[in-house]
Amino acid sequence: MTVNRFWQLDHHPQGSDFANALSLQDEMLAPLAEGEVRVKVGWLSMDAGTRMWMSPRTDGYQPPLPLGSKMAGLVLGRVSESRDAGFPIGTLVRGFGQWADYATVMSALAGLEAVDERLADVRQHFGALGMNAWTALVGVKEVAAVQPGEWLVVSAAAGATGSMACQVGRNLGARVIGIAGGPDKCRYLRDVIGVDLAIDYKNEDVATRLAEVDGGVHAYFDNVGGPMLDAVLPNMAHYGRVAVCGMVAAYDSDTPLPGPARFDQVLMRRLRIEGFFIPDFLHRGAEFLPVLRKWVDAGTLTVNLDETFGLENTLVAYDRMLSGKAIGKVIVKVAD
Ligand SMILES: NC(=O)c1ccc[n+]([C@@H]2O[C@H](COP(=O)([O-])OP(=O)(O)OC[C@H]3O[C@@H](n4cnc5c(N)ncnc54)[C@H](OP(=O)(O)O)[C@@H]3O)[C@@H](O)[C@H]2O)c1
């Protein structure tokens, strides 16, 4: 019998106090039921959206995780046991599993898929070929419908989704403005990601900086919501588009933020605002991958991987991601 360590959600976290909300537990692995797949987790993906699953909010895009359950999240690893003929032992897979040494899933519910193991660095299945990259592509190209020469603004721009949204915009010919917290992140955005302008929202007034944008902002890839959205709306160009990707400013609260104070600008500037959710697009992976792969091979889509070692250190990594200590994509290496 194999011992499995897993993170259990004991309480809804207060703010960023994850240590008092989750605990690392042990169990003996049970035999698989028909249709189940067991994945020996190589890496865990730290995703801002999972913070909402820990809250008691029932109006999110998926129900809250029941207290006492295993913390859920994206995993990358090899199938170690299988009662699903579609996923033989040894297959490298990615899907929604648990923060654990071993994730046990039903493939369809988990969005489990076999991924290319010939990549020089398979961690890119959580990076430039992963869900954050798919999100960046859908949000910039389809929802924000960015055109060459337009101004695209991206918030949380030095994070996983944001840094790739900036690059997708640049690759599509847009002029890109990244908003991020602190001078190091802004330097990264300018020097590595290649944005035209970086705004440090912790030390600069975002609305004032955006007011300098010639012709206004055509497209806003919003990862943050809250006051930052209010700083952008009055600086949008007429017929501008806002792709609502995330609202990280509100994820540590059990109640939603009030709506945008500058909602009037939607009418005044004839804006289109549209939310989107990448699990709705999972069936289009085969279409997204060649586009992303081409940019990766050309060196025009990169992601900094911020890797923490050990399942026992998952909460450290999670806090690095949410509190803005990390640049790029935060992952946890669980096993070889
Ligand atoms: N719609 C979808 O399907 C979808 C899919 C994936 C991700 N997302 C969304 O994309 C966003 C980014 O997620 P991610 O997983 O890629 O995380 P990430 O951007 O790598 O990390 C989160 C970042 O958010 C910023 N942040 C945290 N609190 C903030 C606040 N109060 N105000 C402004 N910025 C704040 C921090 O950067 P700073 O240091 O710059 O503050 C932090 O680095 C989230 O809103 C997430 O929900 C949506």
Is 257 touching ligand 1 by the criterion CB < 6 Å? Answer: no
Residue 50 Cα to ligand 1 middle (Å): 11
- The answer as to whether 34 is a domain residue is yes
Residue 282 Cα to ligand 1 middle (Å): 20
- The answer as to whether 285 is a domain residue is no
Average pLDDT of the chain is: 97
Domain with 275, as residue range(s), is 131-279
Q: To test the ligand 1 pocket, which listed residue (51, 54, 168, 223) has its Cβ within 8 A of the most ligand atoms? A: 223
Q: How many CA atoms lie within 13 A of 227 on its CB side?
A: 5
Task: Tell me the pLDDT tens digit for each residue of 301-314.
Answer: 999 999 999 999 99
Kindly tell me if the per-residue pLDDT of 215 is higher than 90: yes
- The answer as to whether 290 is a domain residue is no
Residue 322 Cα to ligand 1 middle (Å): 7
Kindly tell me if the per-residue pLDDT of 254 is higher than 90: no
Ligand 1 atom closest to Cα of residue 245:
1
pLDDT of residue 24: 98
Residue 100 Cα to ligand 1 middle (Å): 23
Contact 73, 49 (CB under 8 A): no
Residues with Cβ within 8 Å of residue 214, at least 6 apart in sequence: none
pLDDT of residue 47: 98
Q: Domains in the chain: how many in total?
A: 2
Q: How confident is the model at residue 292 (pLDDT cuts 50, 70, 90)?
A: very high
Q: Are residues 35 and 165 in the same domain?
A: no
pLDDT of residue 190: 98
Q: Are residues 7 and 108 in the same domain?
A: yes
> Residue 75: which CATH number?
3.90.180.10
Task: Tell me the pLDDT tens digit for each residue of 220-244.
Answer: 999 999 999 999 999 999 999 999 9
Residue 246 — φ and ψ, nearest 5°?
Answer: -160, 170
pLDDT of residue 28: 97
Q: Which residue has the higher pLDDT, 73 or 60?
A: 73
Ligand 1 atom closest to Cα of residue 163:
19
Measured distance CA(220)–CA(122) in Å, rounded? 31
Average pLDDT in the 44-48 region? 98
Nearest protein CA to atom 44 of ligand 1, as residue? 246
Q: Are residues 96 and 184 in the same domain?
A: no
Is 158 touching ligand 1 by the criterion CB < 6 Å? Answer: yes
In the chain, the amino acid numbered 94 is R
Measured distance CA(141)–CA(135) in Å, rounded? 10
- The answer as to whether 319 is a domain residue is yes
In the chain, the amino acid numbered 14 is Q
Distance of CA 258 to CAs 203, 205, 206, 317, Å? Answer: 24, 21, 20, 29
Q: Are residues 34 and 60 in the same domain?
A: yes
- The answer as to whether 43 is a domain residue is yes
Is 135 touching ligand 1 by the criterion CB < 6 Å? Answer: yes
Q: Are residues 139 and 120 in the same domain?
A: no
Is 130 touching ligand 1 by the criterion CB < 6 Å? Answer: no
pLDDT of residue 335: 98
Query: Beta partners for 116?
Result: none
Is 156 touching ligand 1 by the criterion CB < 6 Å? Answer: yes
pLDDT of residue 1: 79
Measured distance CA(136)–CA(133) in Å, rounded? 5
Q: How confident is the model at residue 138 (pLDDT cuts 50, 70, 90)?
A: very high
Kindly tell me if the per-residue pLDDT of 7 is higher than 90: yes
Give ∠ CA 53-12-319 in degrees, rounded to 5.
Answer: 75
Q: How confident is the model at residue 255 (pLDDT cuts 50, 70, 90)?
A: confident
pLDDT of residue 256: 83
Measured distance CA(265)–CA(276) in Å, rounded? 21
> Residue 205: which CATH number?
3.40.50.720
Residue 91 Cα to ligand 1 middle (Å): 31
Nearest CA among 50, 41, 74, 126 for reference residue 305: 126
- The answer as to whether 187 is a domain residue is yes
Task: Tell me the pLDDT tens digit for each residue of 49-64.
Answer: 999 999 999 998 889 9
Is 180 touching ligand 1 by the criterion CB < 6 Å? Answer: yes
Task: Tell me the pLDDT tens digit for each residue of 144-186.
Answer: 999 999 999 999 999 999 999 999 999 999 999 999 999 999 9
- The answer as to whether 288 is a domain residue is no
pLDDT of residue 303: 98
- The answer as to whether 118 is a domain residue is yes
Measured distance CA(128)–CA(302) in Å, rounded? 6
In the chain, the amino acid numbered 41 is V
pLDDT of residue 323: 97
Q: How confident is the model at residue 257 (pLDDT cuts 50, 70, 90)?
A: confident
Q: Are residues 190 and 136 in the same domain?
A: yes
Q: Are residues 135 and 120 in the same domain?
A: no
pLDDT of residue 258: 83
Q: Are residues 139 and 116 in the same domain?
A: no
pLDDT of residue 259: 86
Nearest protein CA to atom 29 of ligand 1, as residue? 249
Q: Tell me whether residue 212 is exposed, middle or buried, using C-beta atoms within 10 angstroms of its C-beta: 0 to 12, 13 to 18, 19 or more.
A: exposed
Q: Are residues 154 and 224 in the same domain?
A: yes
pLDDT of residue 64: 94
Nearest CA among 110, 17, 23 for reference residue 70: 23
Measured distance CA(5)–CA(99) in Å, rounded? 9
pLDDT of residue 276: 98
